[in-house]
Structure 1
């Protein structure tokens, strides 16, 4: 691949990422949320109560980031944190009724954002996009690169 093609691809991905995050922030603000917090709430809605370390892994973010998000969401009454019954060092995170109710609004917002983002794309492209994006994310996953380097 030559530089011009690489530059065009990297710039397009960078701009998509920046604009998607900015639009996400705009849509979440009326709900009192910041980008990333919606993913935590949706993961808990999908999976049920989780140990904070598992939540970090599921979200693909560092543990301190999950701790900070969890503190803020707990202060807002959206989640509850408690010690794990079998390991006092581990923290279990679960949705409160208020958090569960909020996830319905997040799901609607998420659908609207996806529709806006994908407007004008052929149905076949939309159908293939999740797998394609997962492949791209995996290709640049720093944890995977670190594991591959350490194994070699």
Structure 2
């Protein structure tokens, strides 16, 4: 683990961005631990999200996957290329729309269901270790409110500027 959870913000950041610093530090620490668990499965961060989507509904188009996981086009393209090289998925032109590409799991990709679910459970277990259900519910509510505020801000400014990653 990276130890990022004990990081303290610079004094100025505490005065003007205490909440934002904690969100950043939490996301960084959580992502680092998730990355460790994913490496044990031979996956890169984000690939598990694509696999989970395909395990729920195989044969989605690349555009559908983009919308479902909230990652940018280049990230998804790179992830799918790596996943194809690893024998987890194969891509083929859609039979009705040759511009669209369908992504299908291979047997090896389908076999990732249990390892990914176990990894996700471990990440949840460690993340929620010191929390009870009420704490978790309150955190989820607050996180959703923060995400919605950022999305609404982006929508209200006419969509100018960069779109928040994973939101829309």
Superposition TM-score tier, normalisation by shorter sequence: 0.7 to 0.9
- TM-score normalised by length of structure 1: 0.86
Change (3 A) 1:10 1:54: same
Where in structure 1 are there 5+ consecutive unaligned residues?
none
| Aligned partner of 1:61 among 52, 56, 71 | 71
**Structure with more strand by fraction:** 1
Relative to structure 1, is the Cα distance of residues 20 and 68 closer, same or farther in structure 2, using a 3 angstrom cutoff? same
* 2:129 matched residue in structure 1: 119
2:122 paired with 1:134: no
Distance 1:58 1:6 in 2: 34
Matching residue of 2:89: 79
Q: CA deviation at 1:106?
A: 0.7
Structure 1 residue 128: Cα displacement: 4.4
TM-score of the pair, normalised by structure 2: 0.79
Per the TM alignment, residue 29 of structure 1 is displaced from its structure 2 partner at its CA by: 0.7
Give the secondary-structure state (helix, strand or coil) at the position aligned to 1:150: coil
* CA RMSD between the two structures: 2.1
Point out 4+ residue stretches in structure 1 off by more than 6 angstroms.
none
Instruction: Please give the alpha-carbon distance, in whole angstroms, between the structure 2 residues aligned to 1:85 and 1:145.
Output: 40
Note closer, same or farther for the CA distance 1:79–1:135 as it changes in structure 2 (3 Å cut): farther
Alignment match, 2:41: 31
Structure 2 spans left out of the alignment, 5+ residues = 1-12, 160-168
Aligned residue pairs total 148
